[in-house]
Amino acid sequence: MNILGIGGAELVVILIIMLVVAGPQRMVRWAYIMGRQFAKLQKLWQEAAAVLQKEFDEAGVDVQVPKQIPTRGEFQNQVRSAVKPLTRPIEEVTSEIGRDMDNLRISKQIGNINIPAAPNDAAKPADAPAQKNGDAPGFGTWSGGESQNKGEQS
């Protein structure tokens, strides 16, 4: 539940504070007044929407004004539908990139791609023994190989 950006727990806290500050009798009166004001707001919206729709129709503009006060979700849906033609090329490119990445992963798993060795590995002979503290040579300080070997030599 989300009314005017206020969640359920926040609404309960507000109602408890109102109950303590105003008391039950005034709270009922305030709720009645608030309901009347919301009804006036809805009536005002409907009248304004009717006048605006009439003006749009007379001008030949193909726009539909909502009869009810739009909610945040309805507004977001309308914005998404209006922006969708603009974002469609971007979505197509990203989906194509995703398909290419999936194909690359699959072909790498199968073994069809030969990945060249790193520059550090090319300088070392293939039969060089692995370092004491690391499984593979050339990982630097992460594997503890180079920094510890330097310390052992001095």
User: Region 73-100: what's the mean pLDDT?
Assistant: 87
pLDDT of 51 > 90? The answer is yes
pLDDT level of residue 154 (50, 70, 90 thresholds):
very low
Does 57 lie in the same domain as 27? yes
Residue type, 15: L
Domains contained in the chain, number = 2
What is the number of other CB atoms lying within 10 angstroms of the CB of residue 145? 20
Find the domain containing 80 and state its range. 70-112
Does 52 lie in the same domain as 14? yes
Does 75 lie in the same domain as 51? no
Does 89 lie in the same domain as 59? no
**Residue 92 CB-density burial (10 A; 0-12 exposed, 13-18 middle, 19+ buried):** exposed
Q: Where are the beta strands (DSSP E) in the chain?
A: 2-3, 6-7
Residues of the chain above pLDDT 70, percent: 69
Does 89 lie in the same domain as 56? no
Selected residue with higher pLDDT from 71 and 147: 71
Selected residue with higher pLDDT from 150 and 87: 87
DSSP 8-state code for residue 62: -
Q: What is the pLDDT of residues 101-148, one digit of tens each?
A: 888 888 777 765 555 555 655 555 555 555 555 455 555 566 555 545
Does 82 lie in the same domain as 95? yes
Q: Work out the mean pLDDT of the chain and round it to a whole number.
A: 77
In a domain, 118, yes or no: no
